[in-house]
Amino acid sequence: MVEAETIIKPHVAVLPSPGMGHIIPLFELAKRLVVHHGIRVSFLVINADEDSAAKDYFLRSTALPSGLDVVDLPPVNVSAIIRDDMLLLTRLCVMVEESLKSLKSLLIELGKPEAVVIDLFCTLAFEVCSELSIPVYSFFTPSTAFSTFSLYLPTLDREVEGEFIDLPEPIPIPGCSPVRPEDLLDQVRDRNNDQYRWYLAHMSRLPLAAGIMLNTWEELEPVSLKAIREHPFFLQIPTPPVYPVGPLIKQDEPLSSSDVECLAWLDNQPSDSVLFIALGSGGTLTTKQLIEMARGLEISQQRFIWVLRRPDDADASSTFFNVGSDVNDPISYLPEGFLEKTQEVGVVVKSWATQVAMLRHPSTGGFLSHCGWNSVLESITHGVPIIAWPLYAEQKMNAAMLTEEIGVAMKPVKGPGETVVRREEISRVVMLLMESEEGKLIRCRVKELQNSARRALDKDGSSYNSLSCLLEKWRDEIKS
């Protein structure tokens, strides 16, 4: 008798940058590779000085599927090279660069995986994996529209003099909608800053990837996907093959006691009646803006759950690295009387909440969001329309796309010369989303995309098949 052929599972390492916005989608990719496609995955975690209760809670508190191992890179002390004046991306890249000095020895210890999947800021892995003859795939954590801008950035850098932010017209992106200078991501607003040089260096290496995975699906971003696949500019770079594999979002996770209380409160509210307010893993408001937000919610008289952090007047991303670990007492910074006046219609949660559980609840009817891509995907996947409140990184570009192209969001505006969005405008937009006919139209559009997202991930859906195509390449490499 001929013995049955032994099925060898490809072994893949997945390497995210620090920060929950990077860890979550790559961890969900890792789980999907293991559970749905029979791949063995080592999930590599960078640890550099910063404590993050949310990260530890997310990675350590759930039972991992067989075949998925969380592997810590040796911790590094970066206190001697991190300066207080370093901006977010510079700090992140320094942490990653120091941590990846051990990557080569770790990959050898793991038995040299068939492939390594990295996110945007781990491109030092190209050099390391080249020495080991391991193909590297990039997982692009933001939108496809943003990936086209990023691939175009080296050309912009060569052809444009001066600051992009000072350009008189929107920046044309081949095959895509132009980007208004005022919507540009923070990292390219000052070309003399270290974080611009870091960002440009990482994006310049994208063509080295064996392929680029995109956390999107065909129906969500058809124009950008067509451009990246077919436009002569992207073909001549050349752009690696792209694989839309999303939406990969956080699924179930353990609930905290405050989560349980919020969900119990939601159970007693009417369908689609509650506005959920959360500004991502790193987002904070200024003191003045937080007061206006509170008063605007109070005036609107709409139901809400507000995930609240201590205001920070210097840095809108101040909790990026230590989310869930900040010291927080809302009574000390909320306007006097707010909690008493809103106790019948609102709930305030300190620091962190299980966002997916809140968005999935049928009583949640709107999401005031910073428009980080993970939060955008979570909101659309659960059929919840958005009030766009971008803070940092590429969030202004996302907000513009969500409101003007995809049609799932509305955005409050600042008055002429204002540094904050005033309470009257906040109240107006909240009521518009939650009560008006315009809000109903946006909700219908979100529900359409919610259904298409589900179809994309189902077996034989577009994203499922796209990931399957990539896995066949990995299996073929094992055989050869």
Residue 62: what pLDDT?
Answer: 64
Does 119 participate in catalysis according to the annotation?
yes
Run of H or E residues at 375: helix 373-381
Let me know if domain 11-248+459-479 sits in CATH 3.40.50.2000: yes
Query: Which of 3-7, 57-61, 65-69 shows the highest mean pLDDT?
Result: 65-69
Contact 284, 256 (CB under 8 A): no
Confidence at 220, pLDDT banded by 50, 70, 90: very high
The residues, ordered by sequence, that sit 6+ positions from 263 with a Cβ below 8 Å of its Cβ are 255, 357, 358, 361
Q: Select from 268, 250, 288 the least CA-distant residue to 59.
A: 250
**What span, in angstroms and rounded, lies between the C-alpha atoms of 46 and 106?**
12
Query: What phi, psi does 120 have (nearest 5°)?
Result: -60, -30
Convert the pLDDT of each residue in 221-236 to its tens digit: 999 999 999 999 999 9
pLDDT above 90 coverage of the chain, percent: 78
Contact 273, 363 (CB under 8 A): yes
pLDDT above 70 coverage of the chain, percent: 93
**What span, in angstroms and rounded, lies between the C-alpha atoms of 456 and 32?**
14
Residue 222: what pLDDT?
Answer: 97
The pLDDT of 39-48, averaged and rounded, is 92
Convert the pLDDT of each residue in 281-324 to its tens digit: 778 899 999 999 999 999 999 999 999 988 988 865 555 545 54
Helices 144-159 & 222-230, crossing angle to 10 degrees?
A: 50
pLDDT > 50? residue 4: no
Confidence at 54, pLDDT banded by 50, 70, 90: low
- CA 89, distance to chain mean position in Å, is 15
Per CATH, the number for 257-435 is 3.40.50.2000
**Domains 11-248+459-479 and 257-435 in one fold:** yes
Residue 16: what pLDDT?
Answer: 96
- Please return the burial class of 144, using the count of CB atoms within 10 Å of its CB with bins 0-12, 13-18 and 19+: buried
Contact 290, 422 (CB under 8 A): no
Measured from the Cβ of residue 421, the count of other Cβ atoms closer than 10 Å reads 19
Residue 316: what pLDDT?
Answer: 59
Does 37 participate in catalysis according to the annotation?
no
Query: What phi, psi does 244 have (nearest 5°)?
Result: -70, 120
**What span, in angstroms and rounded, lies between the C-alpha atoms of 266 and 377?**
22
Q: What tokens does 148 get?
A: 């086209």
* Residue from 119, 183, 186, 259 carrying the catalytic annotation: 119
pLDDT > 80? residue 375: yes
Q: Select from 115, 89, 85, 103 the least CA-distant residue to 21.
A: 89
Residue 388: what pLDDT?
Answer: 98
Residue 251: what pLDDT?
Answer: 84
Query: Please, which residues bridge with residue 239 across strands?
Result: none
- The residue with greater pLDDT, 195 or 56, is 195
Confidence at 87, pLDDT banded by 50, 70, 90: confident
Measured from the Cβ of residue 239, the count of other Cβ atoms closer than 10 Å reads 21
Q: What tokens does 81 get?
A: 């090279």
pLDDT > 80? residue 60: no
**What span, in angstroms and rounded, lies between the C-alpha atoms of 415 and 213?**
40
* Residue from 11, 22, 361, 370 carrying the catalytic annotation: 22
Convert the pLDDT of each residue in 446-462 to its tens digit: 999 999 999 999 999 99
303-308 and 364-369 strand pairing: unpaired
CA–CA–CA angle 7, 11, 15 (5° rounding): 160
Contact 26, 139 (CB under 8 A): yes
Q: What tokens does 476 get?
A: 């073929």
Residue 50: what pLDDT?
Answer: 56
Confidence at 82, pLDDT banded by 50, 70, 90: confident
136-140 and 364-369 strand pairing: unpaired
Residue 315: what pLDDT?
Answer: 66
The pLDDT of 272-276, averaged and rounded, is 98
CA–CA–CA angle 265, 25, 303 (5° rounding): 20
The answer to which of 254-258, 360-364, 422-426, 476-480 has the lowest mean pLDDT is: 476-480
The pLDDT of 353-357, averaged and rounded, is 92
Q: What tokens does 431 get?
A: 């009521």
Measured from the Cβ of residue 240, the count of other Cβ atoms closer than 10 Å reads 16
The mean predicted confidence, pLDDT, of the chain is: 92
Residue 3: what pLDDT?
Answer: 44
Measured from the Cβ of residue 72, the count of other Cβ atoms closer than 10 Å reads 12
The residues, ordered by sequence, that sit 6+ positions from 247 with a Cβ below 8 Å of its Cβ are 215, 216, 217, 220, 377, 380, 381, 453, 456, 457, 463
Q: What tokens does 10 get?
A: 């490809």
Confidence at 52, pLDDT banded by 50, 70, 90: low
- Please return the burial class of 6, using the count of CB atoms within 10 Å of its CB with bins 0-12, 13-18 and 19+: exposed
Query: What phi, psi does 161 have (nearest 5°)?
Result: -95, 150
pLDDT > 90? residue 88: no
**Strand ranges across the sheet with 364-369:** 346-350, 303-308, 274-278, 364-369, 386-388, 409-410
Domain boundaries, the chain: 11-248+459-479, 257-435
Confidence at 79, pLDDT banded by 50, 70, 90: confident
Residue 30: what pLDDT?
Answer: 96
